[in-house]
Amino acid sequence: MRRGAGAAGAAAPLLALLIAAAVAPAARAQWGGADVPPDVAIRWSQLDPKKWNLTQLEKAMPLLRTPPGFEIDIYYRGGLMDNARSLAVSGNSKYPGGPIIVYASSKLAKKVYAMIDDNADGTADRMVVVANGLDKPQGMDWKEWVAWVFWGVGFGGGLRNVVGMDWYPDRPQDLYFTENGRDNMGDNTPECELNMAEKPGLFFGFPECHTQAGGDPYLRPVGPGWPLPDPKYNANKEKLNCDDPNTYRRPLQALGPHIAPLGMRFYKWEMGQSWPKEYDRQLIIAEHGSVDRSTKIGYRLVTVKLDGAASGNPKAVEHKEFVTGFLGGKRGDPKATQPSWGRPADVQQLPDGSLLISDDGAHTVYRLHYTGKGVQSPAKLESAPAPANETAAAAAPVAKPAAAAAAPAAAAAPKSGAAPRAGAGWAAAAAALAAAAAVLA
């Protein structure tokens, strides 16, 4: 594959980039120590994240693990991008033969970069800075030819820290999103979540109610888990009965404690048809990795497969590891002894069907593509085994309440008789939006 030729030249026209500011393949994860071959352990010992550069990145790349048939490369080899985080693909990139233009924002560097693949061969040839001096750019979208004015009116309530969002391809009214659970409640509670809202005004429980789940904290079993009252803001369920399925919307999938899910996308097979069709409409989620935990967790990509999403009744039926190798050491070891060199932040699908992955820890963007090499049967990634040096109590910290056992796996929206708790003010917000639109007109 041809490699990039440096960050020279001018970017193709930037029509309108919307920036939200301040608002060797294996089928199993490799955790370091005795769990990895000696050459991998040696490779870890050669890395120095404190003196990170392109040479260090090249040394780290063989540590990454993907399902059989996939390969992962550095998308732009001309240099590093400081704190590469949110990704957006230019709408002009849909034309055959290129160029492919990908924007990457940096929250800490306060910049937006443009990577240009002039001949659409899967490797960026140039990189330029197209915006500088921004106020913590946190997310991007690409729109063409017009100026856009944003007026925030709110959409849902009871949410702590929503980052990744995507509409279901066949039901554009259904918004799926990741949510980061709160800190300071222990290593294995609460869960980070995958949620869905089919309309505005829904309430998702925070700060009174969270989610907990049993099984391996490093890869939770399929399902939404069960309710967990907040010990500070909802002691003894005095403010909100978390066991009542009509009080708030339950998640689709418990993603794990403190894994910090950021960017996510539905894979659209019809866009490029380069991946196996089994990935069509699966969610790909970037787990940035834990901070508030005594032992590290996350630092990977996972997939979630849904059933019934096309009819508006989604249910998670599969939760798998997808790309791993950013985190070393052994499971359950103190985080001071667990080296990590990368932190996945966002994902974007290219017109050829490959997937870009931003990494604000390694300061780069990767391209994950399917070659089919080494595939003898459809790839099935299994859950990693529970760590031997973590207790059963840590794996299942709280007994599942009897009331929750009888409740639906994913509760519907609150009954029509009881208005959503976060719904107050929606009419006023809509009126404000209408008034603003009239002024702008």
Interatomic CA distance for residues 6 and 128, integer angstroms: 10
Spatial CB neighbours of 40, under 8 Å, sequence gap ≥ 6: 30, 32, 62, 63
pLDDT in tens, 319-377: 999 999 999 888 888 888 888 999 999 999 999 999 999 999 999 999 999 999 877 54
Instruction: Record the tokens describing residue 361, joined without a space.
Output: 């820890």
Pairing mode, strands 162-168 and 171-179: antiparallel
Reference 87, options 141, 18, 167, 146; nearest CA is: 141
- pLDDT for residue 37 is more than 90: no
**What pLDDT does 407 receive?**
40
Structure tokens belonging to residue 343: 């932190």
Q: What is the mean pLDDT of residues 16-24?
A: 39
Residue 6 pLDDT > 80: no
Contact between 298 and 220 (Cβ < 8 Å): no
> Which position has the higher pLDDT, 325 or 21?
325
Q: Do residues 59 and 43 make contact, with C-beta atoms less than 8 angstroms apart?
A: yes
Burial class (CB in 10 A: 0-12, 13-18, 19+), 276: middle
What pLDDT score was predicted for residue 148? 65
User: What's this model's pTM, rounded to 2 decimal places?
Assistant: 0.80
Poorest-pLDDT segment among 174-188, 282-296, 382-396: 382-396
How far is Cα of residue 232 from the mean position of the Cα atoms in its chain? Answer: 28
Find the Cα–Cα–Cα–Cα dihedral 321, 327, 328, 330, rounded to 10°: -60
Model pLDDT, residue 20: 44
Cα(69)–Cα(372) distance, integer angstroms:
4
Three-state DSSP at 123 gives coil
**Beta strands per DSSP E along 60-143:** 70-74, 84-89, 100-106, 111-117, 126-131, 137-142
CA 218 to chain centre: 16
Higher pLDDT, 266 or 377: 266
pLDDT at 406: 38
Instruction: Using pLDDT thresholds of 50, 70 and 90, give the confidence band for residue 18.
Output: very low
Q: Which class for 411: exposed (0-12), middle (13-18), buried (19 or more C-beta within 10 A)?
A: middle
CA-wise closest residue to 255 among 163, 354, 180, 360: 180
Length of the chain: 441
CA dihedral (419, 422, 423, 426) in degrees, to 10, reads: 170
Helix (H) or strand (E) holding 258: none
Neighbours of 126 (CB within 10 A): 22
Work out the mean pLDDT of the chain and round it to a whole number: 80
Give the range with max mean pLDDT: 3-7, 48-52, 195-199.
195-199
DSSP 203: B
- The answer to whether residues 130 and 103 touch, using CB atoms and an 8 Å cutoff, is yes
The CA distance from 338 to 295, in Å, is: 8
**Quick one: which of 324, 352, 345, 362 has its CA closest to 265?**
345
